[in-house]
Amino acid sequence: MARVRTGVRALGAVLAAVLGASLAGCSSTGGKRAEERAEQAAAQGRAAVDTPRWTVGMVTHSGDGDTFWDIVQSGAKQAAVKDNIKFLYAHSDEGQQQAQLVDSYIDKKVDGLIVTLAKPDAMKAVVAKATKAGIPVITVNSGSAESAKFGALAHIGQDETIAGEAVGEELGKRGRKKALCVLHEQGNVGHEQRCAGAKETFDGEMQNLYVDGTNMPDVQASIEAKLQSSKDIDAVVTLGAPFADAAVKAKEQAGSKAEIDTFDLNAQVAAALQADTLGFAVDQQPYLQGYEAVDLLWLHKYNADVLGGGKPVLTGPQIITKKDAAELEAYTKRGTR
């Protein structure tokens, strides 16, 4: 017993010491406190309407812990607060699971659904089931070709082929000759379209490289190996912001001269654009995809409005270079760009 008690006492002493040190050694810059101050400065979200409290469910094809989908969610949540909507979110990167999650929300009798159609065939039946049950469906991000066919109200997102073509043109303008397209989600049709679109408009040579997006060190090593084996690659295009950082590291390790460009945006990408470690970014404004989807469902319930006239509502591509990055950096830090 005595030994246990001294153990507890020692633990208490250690805890006290750690607490004391953390209180005494304050940082006057950054950290949690700076974040709290910034949050207080921002406007407090409150409902701006007096419609009943509707429920909207969103089901995406995202994996766990994905930055991009975090931003989509923050847009959706912002709109949900404003429109007095209860917002539910679920995700799975397996088509079958994603369909089952949509099923669960239909069982819950939600008032509106937001889904992604990265795997359109897996989602076809449940979207039909939802519309049959009288639940309005809005598709976001991927599936512009299938959205109307499946009976969704509208599609909000970026046409992946158009986005890819914009990248191909931009690479050409920059005088690139041999590019690498890094796909981090095997089986994602949208990613394939991006690389195919870039290949289409790029007058140089373009190769695809598949990496395992859930394993960052592996992504870096794969790109590194590729850059080492093909010395003449002068542009690397990654399809997600977190992967741009890995590509930059890989380029340094491999001693390559390639320019790194990326789809999507985050704080690191904005900073890297300003530091010239990245060439350009192609943004599709994920915040807008979440925000507009929820807002559109509200508009549809409140006023029977539909946006887009049966055509996809495009949120991208927006080519972002060094000159836009400074303004966007502040917005990326608060997780809305």
Partner 1 sequence: MTATAPAEAPAPGGKPPADERLLKTSLPRRLLGRPELGSVVGAVAVFLFFAIVADSFLRASSFGTVLYAASVIGIMAVPVALLMIGGEFDLSAGVLVTSSALVSSMFSYQMTANIWVGVLVSLLVTLAVGVFNGVMLTRTKLPSFIITLGTFLMLTGLNLGLTKLISGTVSTKSIADMEGFSSAKALFASQVTLGGVNLKVTVLWWLGLVAVATWILLRTRAGNWIFAVGGGTEAARAVGVPVNKTRIGLYMGVSLGAWISGQHLLFSFDVVQSGEGVGNELIYIIAAVIGGCLITGGYGSAIGSAVGAFIFGMTSKGIVYAEWDPDWFKFFLGAMLLLATLLNAWVRKRAEATR
Residues in touch with partner 1 (CB under 8 A): 64-65, 88-91, 94-96, 100-101, 103-109, 119, 121-122, 124-125, 185-189, 192, 210
How crowded is residue 282: how many other Cβ atoms within 10 Å of its Cβ? Answer: 24
For 206, the 3-state DSSP assignment is strand
By C-beta, is 70 or 169 nearer to partner 1? 70
By C-beta, is 141 or 256 nearer to partner 1? 141
By C-beta, is 104 or 253 nearer to partner 1? 104
How crowded is residue 152: how many other Cβ atoms within 10 Å of its Cβ? Answer: 23
- Rounded least distance, CB 75 to partner 1, Å: 17
C-alpha dihedral sign at 164, 165, 168, 174: negative
- Rounded least distance, CB 312 to partner 1, Å: 21
- Rounded least distance, CB 64 to partner 1, Å: 7
Helices (H), 108-143: 120-132
Strand order in the sheet with 154-157: 85-91, 54-60, 112-116, 137-141, 154-157, 313-314
End-to-end CA distance of the chain: 57
Helices (H), 83-119: 95-107
By C-beta, is 187 or 217 nearer to partner 1? 187
Using CA atoms of 98, 152, 142, 318 in order, give the dihedral in degrees to the nearest 10: -140
- Rounded least distance, CB 205 to partner 1, Å: 18
- Rounded least distance, CB 118 to partner 1, Å: 9
- Rounded least distance, CB 122 to partner 1, Å: 5
By C-beta, is 154 or 237 nearer to partner 1? 237
By C-beta, is 99 or 254 nearer to partner 1? 99
Tell me the backbone φ, ψ of residue 238, rounded to 5 degrees.
-100, 155
As beta bridge partners, residue 282 has 263, 319
By C-beta, is 93 or 264 nearer to partner 1? 93
- Rounded least distance, CB 323 to partner 1, Å: 36
- Rounded least distance, CB 187 to partner 1, Å: 3
Q: What is the spatial distance between Cα 282 and Cα 223, in angstroms, rounded to a whole number?
A: 20
Q: What is the spatial distance between Cα 263 and Cα 55, in angstroms, rounded to a whole number?
A: 32
Cis, bond preceding 317 (omega within 30 deg of 0): yes
Quote helix, strand, coil % in the chain, to nearest 5: 50, 20, 30
